[in-house]
Amino acid sequence: MLRLPETLPARPVAAYRVVLGLVAVVRAAALTANPYLGNRPHPLYGWVPALPTPVWTAVGLVMLVAAVALVLGVLARPAALVVGLCVFAEMWGAGYYGNGAYLLGTMAILLSFSRCDAAFALRGRPADEVWAPPVLLLRAQISVVYLYAALGKLNQDYLVGNGLAGDAGVLVPAGLLVFPLVAVLAVGAVVLELFLAVALWVPRLRPVAIPLGVLLHLGMIAWLSDGPLAVMELGCFAATTAGGYLLFLDALPSRRGRGRSGRSRPTAAGRRTSPHTASRSVPG
């Protein structure tokens, strides 16, 4: 029986808002600087009109302001939406496409539908719990990232290690690029990604999944990086994805012990919850 909560703790999603905002600050600075680093803007699709560089500079600056507001929790939900729209505008209109940018834009737009300003916000609406569906969608997107990545690697070329060997950066020792060791690493990466896609949803597996996921992303940065720009790109992707583990936490430490109604009640398991916390059961 699958139990879908109607509300979830507010602090984990608020903490992820801060993480995503910091990633957006870095991304906004990079996107704004792109044309001045020699990457001339050009539409990703032919039907998108070509616009001059100052337009994309302005979009990047708007994104930067929205990202700072997102971190601080000032008009957090509109700020998240602006960040997401700016990212997609930069990708489609200026051609600055990347998997990390795409994920950032998607997560920012999804975050705008949540009560992400219920904690850690300068100007928010404090609450101990928030409506669950937007948070569950954010969780699902994290799982989709791992599932899609794993399924995309299910081919002979990758599983024998050719993909890993071809993508190896300057930090990878040559001794790891020999068969069958590189094949073992490739298969292990696929298995780990499939595991993370499921295990993050299982409370008993979560204490194992979270550190393994962090190690996976640190390994990606070390394996794939060939310079400072790659470290920045992979670091932002890691923070966007692994930072999403916060969304799977049941709670973060709080100085407040009462729910939105000002009174809490014990459950059968002995812990205290707000009277607004409820779950509905659907067939599994």
> On the CB side of 39, how many CA atoms lie within 13 Å of its CA?
15
> On the CB side of 238, how many CA atoms lie within 13 Å of its CA?
21
Report if residue 29 sits inside a domain: yes
Average pLDDT over residues 232-251: 94
What's the pLDDT score for residue 160? 93
Question: CA 165, CA 224: separation in Å to the nearest integer?
Answer: 10
Report if residue 269 sits inside a domain: no
Domain match, 96 and 143 both: no
What's the pLDDT score for residue 254? 59
Average pLDDT over residues 269-279: 42
Per-residue pLDDT tens digits for 71-127: 999 999 999 999 999 999 999 999 888 899 999 999 999 999 999 999 999 988 899
Question: CA 279, CA 76: separation in Å to the nearest integer?
Answer: 27
Confidence band of 1 (pLDDT split at 50, 70, 90): low
Spatial neighbors of 14 by CB under 8 A, at least 6 apart, are: 73, 116, 117, 118, 119, 120, 121, 124
What's the pLDDT score for residue 276? 42
Q: How far is CA 37 from CA 51, 95, 216, 282, in A?
A: 18, 14, 31, 53
Spatial neighbors of 268 by CB under 8 A, at least 6 apart, are: none
Q: How many domains does the chain have?
A: 2
Over pLDDT 90: what percentage of the chain? 68
Q: How far is CA 198 from CA 4, 84, 109, 249, in A?
A: 16, 26, 23, 15
Domain match, 123 and 157 both: no
Q: What per-residue string of b and e applies to 37-56 under the rule 16 or more CB within 10 Å gives b?
A: eeeebeeeeeeeeebeeeeb
Question: CA 245, CA 12: separation in Å to the nearest integer?
Answer: 9
Domain match, 136 and 246 both: yes
Report if residue 76 sits inside a domain: yes
- Does the structure show a pLDDT above 60 at 283? no
Q: Which of 94, 111, 129 is the last residue before a domain boundary?
A: 129
What's the pLDDT score for residue 260? 41
Average confidence score pLDDT of the chain = 87
What's the pLDDT score for residue 112? 97
What's the pLDDT score for residue 255? 54
Q: Which of 129, 158, 187 is the last residue before a domain boundary?
A: 129
- Does the structure show a pLDDT above 70 at 193? yes
- Does the structure show a pLDDT above 60 at 263? no
Strand partners of residue 2: 282
- Does the structure show a pLDDT above 80 at 250? yes
Per-residue pLDDT tens digits for 28-77: 998 888 888 778 888 888 888 888 999 999 999 999 999 999 999 999 99
Per-residue pLDDT tens digits for 160-192: 999 999 999 888 998 888 989 999 999 999 999
Q: Report the largest interatomic distance among the alpha carbons of the chain, rounded to a whole angstrom.
A: 62
Cβ atoms of 129 and 8 closer than 8 Å:
yes
Cβ atoms of 123 and 14 closer than 8 Å:
no
What's the pLDDT score for residue 253? 65
- Does the structure show a pLDDT above 80 at 27? yes
Domain match, 122 and 167 both: no
Domain match, 187 and 140 both: yes
- Does the structure show a pLDDT above 60 at 256? no
| Identity of the residue numbered 56 | W
| Boundaries of domain holding 206 | 131-251
What's the pLDDT score for residue 11? 95
